[in-house]
Chains A and B, each alone.
Chain A
Amino acid sequence: MSNKQRAVLRNLPVYMALIAVSVLVLFPFFWMVTTALKEQTKIFLFPPQWLPSPVQWGNFADVFKVQPQFPLYFWNSLYTSVLVTVGTCLFAALAGFAFAKLQFPMRNLIFLVLLTGMMIPTEVTAIPMFNWFTKLQLTDTHFPLIVPPMLGAGGMFGVFLLRQFFIAVPSELDEAAKIDGCSPWTTFWRIMFPLAGPSLATLAIFTFLHSWDNYFDPLIYISSDRLFTLPVGLKLFTDTAGTEWQLLMAASVIATLPLLIVFFFAQKRFIEGVALTGLK
């Protein structure tokens, strides 16, 4: 018996508990995928069919037939989330750097005021903003999904995170750059921004997840089908596809897969990022 096997056997109760929870948590993914690959007539068989037979790859193609806008939803989600993520990271890093490394009057006061923004719920500010965006004819555009999240509460969280990081960078570094004649911009862009890689990655992951998952904003701001993002498009699909669960599950697989792939490749960064920010 190898050491590994012995360790597993000795801790059998621990493993049993962990397996039980893992099964419960992973089961929806399994059920989503098997259902997505079943024939429609096999969906409601009794007793339930655990593995699809015959495997119906055509369901994925049918999703696009029933809902031709689906690739568009995907694109809308992707490009708005990428823009929010890039913008948040850049502006949060700029502000975080200024608050940590540059001298200017009222610096700490302004920082504290910005921090209060983190606790303002979107659900509260959405009501007046909906009115203004309506007047400016910005509802039913992607503007409300991109700019307010970038520079709103999420942005303030980014400023906080990045300032924490830049404060820990030894001041010899930016002082040396200053003596060598670097402008604050050069110091930021050439020296500080690249250094912030790990913190930026954490912020980027959070922002992207949050934006990709954003349901409330598109629900209230977007009314044209072609502008929907995936969550709203999927919800609409549940209303129109009715009980064609195999199509609904196929669509869900398509909507979930990209994020899961990113997660499995960068899971260490994800989990450490959560632990890092959770402890702050």
Chain B
Amino acid sequence: MEFADVKPEPAKAVVRKGKTNRLNKHEKWYGYLFISPMVIGYVVFLLIPIIAAFSMSFTNASLLHESEFIGLGNYKKAFTEDPLFWQTVGHTLYFSLGLIPLNLILALGLAVLLNRKLPFIGFFRTAIFTPVVTSIVVWSIVWKYIFATDNGLMNQLLKLIGITGPAWLYNMELAMPVVILVSVLKNVGLNMVIFLAALQDVPKMYYEAATIDGASKRRTFFSITLPMISPSLFLALILTLIGSLKVFSQIQVMTDGGPGTSTYVLVYYIYQQAFKIFEFGYASAIAFILFFLVLVLTIVQWNLRKRWVHHEQ
């Protein structure tokens, strides 16, 4: 009571401050309310499942029996006792290493060709991008038909020039290269468009300076173009690599892992173990090895990007 009589002025200030506080307080609750669907989604559909998958990888969980803790048993099995696991890793790497150079070089080449003002250029850009918006299952079915053994178009064309074509997708050596080719044609447009955007961002004055200095076309490409678009190149490399480690649909549709196990890749193996024979524990361990690979690649990407940040605007 006494205080109130003595100091009326600060009290006024407090009232005003109280009002803005109340506004901020409201804003705070709105903030939490607005992010809540995504936060709940993160916890329920990402965080808890990833933890559950991790702990499941230390058990022998299965549809067939009660689950027990078996420590590193699944990882030991994968690395030392299961030859199919290593085969699977090998096939995945084969796919990635086959796909990435083809995809990136073709995409870069196309982007360079498209990066000029010529008639009909827009048509080619659209055409090459079209497979990207086509369903991977449809794309795989059509190619499976083209590469069909007896009456597929590929073998019919070979027959026209007197060659008996191989059983492409039923041939241990050829199945994977065919899948790689089909995957490159499906997605090359994506990286092409990313590179094209990067090329168009290179300031024209660099090229003008190079021309004045009398630099050759090749020199200009390797000394100006390539370094200037390196952030995009690297981003495309990592994204393509992560995507290729997770390849599944085209394999499942075109070869179903076969012939034999010659096109088993990591995700196909996870699918087969978890959802065909319901060995959840072992499947989780393989899934976690995949997750670990993706994690490392993502971290590498973020760190290297920082180093190249001077190229980015």
C-alpha spacing A152/B280, complex, angstroms: 21
Contact call B280/A119, Cβ cutoff below 8 A: no
Main secondary structure of the interface of A (DSSP, over half): helix
Q: In this complex, what residue of B is CB-closest to A278?
A: B194
Measured CB to CB, the closest approach of chain A to B169, in angstroms, equals: 13
Measured CB to CB, the closest approach of chain B to A239, in angstroms, equals: 10
A residues contacting the other copy or chain, number (CB 8 A): 96
Interface bits A241-254 vs B (CB < 8 Å: 1, else 0) = 00001001100100
Contact call A18/B141, Cβ cutoff below 8 A: no
C-alpha spacing A183/B116, complex, angstroms: 49
Provide the residues of chain A in CB contact with B138, threshold 8 Å: 32, 231, 234, 252, 255-256
Contact call B129/A270, Cβ cutoff below 8 A: yes
C-alpha spacing A155/B267, complex, angstroms: 22
C-alpha spacing A209/B190, complex, angstroms: 13
Contact call B291/A91, Cβ cutoff below 8 A: no
C-alpha spacing A271/B192, complex, angstroms: 10
C-alpha spacing A114/B39, complex, angstroms: 7
Main secondary structure of the interface of B (DSSP, over half): helix
Out of A107, A113, A270, name the residue touching B42 (CB < 8 Å).
A113
Provide the residues of chain A in CB contact with B50, threshold 8 Å: 120, 124-125
Q: Does B69 contact A (CB under 8 A)?
A: no
Q: Does A11 contact B (CB under 8 A)?
A: yes
Provide the residues of chain A in CB contact with B248, threshold 8 Å: 123, 215-216
C-alpha spacing A8/B50, complex, angstroms: 55
Contact call A184/B194, Cβ cutoff below 8 A: no
Measured CB to CB, the closest approach of chain B to A62, in angstroms, equals: 17
Q: Does A226 contact B (CB under 8 A)?
A: no
Contact call B146/A28, Cβ cutoff below 8 A: yes
Interface-side segment among B153-161, B171-179, B202-210: B153-161
Q: In this complex, what residue of B is CB-closest to A126?
A: B274
B residues contacting the other copy or chain, number (CB 8 A): 97
Contact call B124/A22, Cβ cutoff below 8 A: yes
Q: Does B130 contact A (CB under 8 A)?
A: yes
Greatest chain B CB density within 10 A among A17, A19, A47, A127 is at A127
C-alpha spacing A212/B135, complex, angstroms: 7
Provide the residues of chain B in CB contact with A153, threshold 8 Å: 46
Which residues of A from 189 to 211 have beta carbons under 8 Å from B? 209
Out of A11, A99, A119, name the residue touching B295 (CB < 8 Å).
A119
C-alpha spacing A44/B159, complex, angstroms: 13
Given the contacts A107-B31, A152-B46, A260-B130, A278 and B235 also touching, CB distance less than 8 Å: yes
Interface bits A89-129 vs B (CB < 8 Å: 1, else 0) = 00110110111001111010010011001011101111111
Contact call B137/A215, Cβ cutoff below 8 A: yes
Contact call A127/B151, Cβ cutoff below 8 A: no
C-alpha spacing A259/B249, complex, angstroms: 19
Q: Does A1 contact B (CB under 8 A)?
A: no
C-alpha spacing A188/B198, complex, angstroms: 33
Leading 5 A-B pairs by shortest Cβ distance: A151-B41, A275-B197, A104-B31, A278-B194, A128-B52
User: Can you give 19 contacting A-B residue pairs, CB < 8 Å?
Assistant: A4-B119, A21-B106, A28-B139, A29-B134, A91-B38, A98-B30, A103-B24, A121-B290, A121-B291, A125-B49, A127-B287, A128-B56, A155-B41, A215-B248, A215-B252, A231-B136, A235-B253, A256-B134, A278-B190
